[in-house]
Structure 1
Amino acid sequence: MTESYVFKEHPAQAAGAPTLALFHGTGGDENQFFALGRQLLPSARLIAPRGDVSEGGALRYFRRTGEGVYDMDDLRQRTDKMANFLRSVKTDGKLVGLGYSNGANILAAVMFAYPDLIDAAVLMHPLILWQPEPVEGLKDRKVLITAGRRDPICPAPQTQALADWFAAQGTETEVVWHEGGHEIVQAELVAAARFLSGQQV
Structure 2
Amino acid sequence: MSTHTYHHLFKQGAPGAPLIVTLHGTGGNESQFHGFAAELLPQASILSPRGDVSEHGAARFFRRTGEGVYDMADLARATTALAAFIREMAAKAGAGEVYGFGFSNGANILANMLIEEPDLFARAGLLHPLIPFRPKPQPGLAGRRVLITAGRRDPICPPPLSEALATYMTGQGAETELLWHEGGHEIRQPEVDALARLLG
TM category, shorter? over 0.9
In the comparison of the two structures, how many residue pairs are matched? 196
**SS of aligned partner of 2:47:** strand
Taking structure 2 as the reference length, what is the TM-score of the superposition? 0.95
RMSD: 1.1
Using the aligned pairs only, state the percent identity. 54
SS of 1:192's equivalent?
helix
Match of 1:80 in 2: 80
Out of 113, 131, 152, the residue aligned to residue 149 of structure 1 is 152
**C-alpha deviation, 1:2, in angstroms:** 4.5
1:107-164 per-position Cα deviation (integer Å, ceiling 9, x unaligned): 1111111111111100000000100010121112110111111100001110010000
Q: Counterparts in 2 of 1:26-41, with a 5 A limit?
A: 26-41=26-41
How big is each residue's C-alpha offset from its partner over 1:42-69, in whole Å with a ceiling of 9 and x where there is no partner?
1110000000100000000000011111
Amino acid at match of 1:166: M
- The residue number in structure 2 matching 1:110 is 113
In 2, Cα distance between equivalents of 1:109 and 1:141: 14
For 1:190 and 1:42, the matched residues in 2 are separated by: 16
SS of 1:54 mapped into structure 2: strand
Deviates more, 1:49-58 or 1:188-197: 188-197
CA distance in 1 between counterparts of 2:145 and 2:29 reads 25
Distance of 1:15 and 1:79 partners within structure 2? 27
> Which of 170, 190, 193 is matched with 2:193 structurally?
190
Match of 2:122 among 119, 123, 131: 119
* Counterpart in the other structure of 1:100: 103
User: Structure 2: which amino acid aligns with 1:183?
Assistant: E
Unaligned runs of 5+ in 2: none
Q: Residues 50-98 of structure 1, C-alpha deviation per residue, up to 9 Å, x if partnerless?
A: 0010000000000001111110011111111111111111134110001
Contact 2:153–2:184, Cα closer than 8 Å, also in 1? yes
Q: Show the counterpart of 1:172.
A: 175
Letter in 2 for 1:190: D
Task: Give the match for residue 58 of structure 2.
Answer: 58
TM-score between the two structures when normalised by the length of structure 1? 0.95
Q: CA deviation at 1:15?
A: 3.0
Return the alpha-carbon distance in structure 2 between the equivalents of residues 36 and 92 of structure 1: 19
| Counterpart-to-counterpart distance in 1, 2:73 and 2:100 | 23
Instruction: Measure, in 1, the Cα distance between the counterparts of 2:23 and 2:44.
Output: 15
- Distance (Å, rounded) in 1 between the aligned partners of 2:167 and 2:133: 14
8 Å Cα contact 2:123-2:198 kept in structure 1: no
Whether 1:6 and 2:12 are equivalent positions in the alignment is no
